[in-house]
Amino acid sequence: MLIKKPADIRPSEITSESNYFSRRNFMRAGSIVGAAAIAAPALGAIVPAGSGEKLEGIRPSRLSTDELPNTYEDVTTYNNYYEFGTGKADPFRNAQDFEPRPWTITVDGHAEKTGSFLFEDFIKPFDLEERIYRMRCVEAWSMVIPWVGISLAEVIKSFKPTSRAKYVAFETLHDPVRMPGQSRRVLDWPYREGLTIAEATNPLAILAVGVFGEALPNQNGAPIRLVVPWKYGFKGIKGIVRMRFVERQPKTSWEMAAPREYGFYANVNPNVDHPRWSQARERRIGASVFASKQPTQMFNGYAEHVAHLYDGLKLRRHY
């Protein structure tokens, strides 16, 4: 089997915006023609071991945005993944030799079904969907990314959390040898994140295992990461190895590191500035340096789907 690393890929092999968008339109047209077939149960998720290998059995999602996706190069070379370095290009440079298999995910806490599962077994019961989502970083930049993933709500349902499970906590791999960024005390490793049960079971939340129809590259969180499109990007924990059902709100990495700047909820809110910069406008990665920033949308444009989750909360306080 020939597995190409990103450094070996010629520019002509990188999916362009226009080619990918055309493929997406073709998929949508096919979904209309074969709606009955798409509605039928799939065989379950199968993800090849090599990052960048094509995924099969993907079905398009009605939750996708109609915005044009960023290029493959944008999505895979401009990343926040501190486990491989704090610079935007560090994950691409430093994660190429990372081996995301074999991989085990442990599920514990207040649920009827718990244990440690091989990645392949963890995702197998679920269907692969393509979700083209707007993604917004707290640093005031954004992208549109065609994720491929499985429904987090369906995953949670399968483990049968009990009434004591109010939150879902996630942890990433802690391995400073394989993840050189963890040798620096930038954060209290391992990286930790969390959602309320209501957030985690919202239809928008997914566990991504691919992008652009291919298995996740290492720098994007292979083999599995969280995608919550109405929240700032630091909620999207990568390289997940543990999922816990807990009763109390879990401490999260950036909340512990800088509580005045990063809260548990991390909802995109243009009306609440970061202490060191405005969140009212954003720069779309890949746009011309002369292009104007665009206004930031409340909940990153997903308010109709998620605003009800925060009824009664003061969004300036519960940030």
Q: Give the tens place of pLDDT for each residue, 270-306.
A: 999 999 999 999 999 998 767 789 999 999 999 999 9
Superfamily name and number for 16-310: Oxidoreductase, molybdopterin-binding domain (3.90.420.10)
Which of 311, 309, 305 minimizes the C-alpha distance to 134?
A: 305
pLDDT at 230: 98
Identify the three-state secondary structure at position 186: coil
pLDDT at 315: 81
Looking only at the bridges linking them, the beta strands covering 192-196 and 129-136 are unpaired
| Six-digit token string for 217 | 């590259």
Whether 213 and 55 have beta carbons less than 8 Å apart is answered as yes
Whether 171 and 250 have beta carbons less than 8 Å apart is answered as no
pLDDT at 319: 81
Task: Write out the E strands in 152-264.
Answer: 167-172, 192-196, 206-211, 214-215, 225-227, 240-246
Q: How far is CA 293 from the centre of its chain?
A: 24
Calpha distance 38→54 (Å, rounded) = 19
Q: Compute the Cα dihedral for 195, 200, 202, 204 and give only its sign.
A: positive
**H helix intervals, the chain:** 17-33, 35-39, 72-77, 90-94, 119-123, 152-159, 197-200, 253-257, 303-306
pLDDT at 38: 35
Calpha distance 18→13 (Å, rounded) = 13
Compute how many other C-beta atoms are within 10 angstroms of the C-beta atom of residue 275. Answer: 8
- The residues of the chain scoring below 70 in pLDDT are 1-43, 289
pLDDT at 2: 37
pLDDT at 50: 82
pLDDT at 43: 66
List Cβ neighbours of 317 (8 Å cut-off, separation of 6 or more). none
Identify the three-state secondary structure at position 278: coil
| Six-digit token string for 307 | 């605003």
Distances from the Cα of 52 to the Cα of 119, 181, 222, 255, 285, angstroms: 17, 23, 10, 33, 22
List Cβ neighbours of 125 (8 Å cut-off, separation of 6 or more). 44, 45, 158
- pTM comes to 0.87
Calpha distance 103→119 (Å, rounded) = 5
Whether 94 and 73 have beta carbons less than 8 Å apart is answered as no
